[in-house]
Amino acid sequence: MSKQFTVWHHDQIGSTNDEARRLALEGAPHGTVVHADEQTAGRGRLSHTWFSPPGNLYLSIVLRTGQPASRSSELSFLAALAVADTVETLLPRQIRAMLKWPNDVLVNGAKIAGILLEQVDDAIIMGIGLNVLEAPSNTAYKTTTVVANAGIATVDGARDILLDRLAYHLSSWHTDGFPPIREQWLNRSYPVGAAIRANAGGQPVAGHFAGLDDDGALLLDTNQGRQRIVAGEVLPG
Q: How far is CA 154 from CA 65, 131, 133, 201, 205, in A?
A: 29, 11, 9, 38, 40
SS3 1: coil
| Phi, psi of 3, rounded to the nearest 5 degrees | -70, -15
Binding test (CB under 6 A) with ligand BTN, winner from 5, 31, 63, 129: 129
Binding test (CB under 6 A) with ligand BTN, winner from 23, 62, 99, 115: 115
Whether residue 208 contacts residue 194, with contact meaning beta carbons closer than 8 Å, is answered with yes
Closer of 50 and 173 to ligand BTN (Cβ): 50
Which parts of 68-156 are beta strand (E)? 97-100, 104-107, 110-120, 123-130
Binding test (CB under 6 A) with ligand BTN, winner from 31, 127, 207, 216: 127
C-alpha 186/C-alpha 29 separation (Å) is: 32
22 is an interface residue for ligand BTN by CB under 6 A: no
Q: Is 58 left (phi over 0), alpha (psi -120 to 50) or beta?
A: beta
Residues 32-71 that bind ligand BTN (CB under 6 A): 39, 42-45, 48, 50, 58-60
Closer of 31 and 114 to ligand BTN (Cβ): 114
- Near ligand BTN by CB under 6 A, which window of 66-74, 127-135, 176-184, 189-197? 127-135
- Near ligand BTN by CB under 6 A, which window of 72-80, 122-130, 137-145, 220-228? 122-130
What is the binding site for ligand BTN (CB under 6 A)?
A: 15-17, 39, 42-45, 48, 50, 58-60, 114-116, 127-129
